[in-house]
Structure 1
């Protein structure tokens, strides 16, 4: 099958799930007539009509409330929050309503709601449109957080998210939309299962989304210096597949977790805590490679230096004792 772009994989997953299940609806700002500001959803409005694919006013609070209401009354909404920075406006409906409903109804009812949202820095969008809000959501029980790195995973994980019976936040890194890759399956992928994308013996590099590609480039740099790095793509950040990481650490004895997000309070720290609890006897070294505890700079040179790219990852591995 020919390679397709990440954005095409997202569009194909939505198209196939809209066709598969008439209960699926899709809405958000500029997703219908304009086809999305990142050109990820063209043609869906024309194919499925205004009752199933439609644009909304600029109100994340109202959109999320409408999505929650649709989910508890028999539909399977997919909502696009254009930038993840504005998920703060969705928090009440998402956290206090959608993620609690299954618990409060003693498991009788779910909330099949997916929120797609664009995240990440490096695109010169400034401090208020470049954040990585994963850490805002990591402590929310019953919420799944999906973070694909490739077109194949984007398609398979989005299809799985739409079929899930409880809330999923699906993050799409803006710097991945134009990457290309093979997509050779129309089947959903299992949520909560990491993937070893490169084998190695000396150190384990763990990341998600754009960070996976940075780790793979860093692994090439390290290989030139005689260091064999194993690279793990987590694919979902809640739940975390720490078992795959533990298995790798048993072989390499060293692990670096690469997170595009502030060092304090991030998912990298949670993953290292789990690895330490379950594999302390195998660990010789463990650390985080993240961003500084500051807003994201707008200046291109400062933004590039702010992010944990391949050169920094390789340099940190080589600098460890």
Structure 2
């Protein structure tokens, strides 16, 4: 039996049987889609239950799928064919692991009646993919700030697609990412292409933002910038107004003294010790990545003083020395 797919119990279309578009897209033949529910009217995207007709015993549970359907639009069909090619040729190793499993591209003829009972017929096609969860429901990637585990997995997935597989999505927005039980899936590879992603730095959350030349891939750089809080940036804004240029920092005291000089920050109600503790955390992060992000000065500075009481004691001694020098 040739590869085919059958829509049953669908509205507004009558039951339709479509044949495989090309043998390269055959997955398992034939399959039946039931209880199709329209998700996006303008794009004809359905959610449907899929079962394999070859399952004679009928014991396998129906698989939930997403069906991209097109009728009478040659451009849209060509776009679907390109996406199907990309799934088969370049994404096969990632099926079910960050990328939907591909279940085939099919074509055929359709017939349906409009509200006035007028019959419409023509050519149609559909792309069938694994259901991989729900949209994130956010407008910007930076809204993932409070879901660090998911954000980490998403970056790792994007890194795998780019660096290991050389895939450039070319149209990645929050609505192209789904969440399936805490696991991210990236969808819509209709305009994706291949490229050589030459990133020469580890993508680790909390590191100092590297030089742009270390992440020459524009899509990857834009994605990380869109997360907003992934890097400790080259210039850090502390407490709504204090700028600290990280490649000039030589100690925790440097950051702390900058804070103390800014009177506007005293309105925050935090103590000097609170500011000191924050300065120490920032300095430790900057110092731990010094050689990587300051290649012209790869000598890692001493950690120096990190205890607040020790810092105060040293500062008092320094003030006394300055006073004695003025007397003489």
* Normalised TM-score (structure 2): 0.24
Between the two structures, name the one with larger relative contact order (CA 8 Å, sep ≥ 6).
1
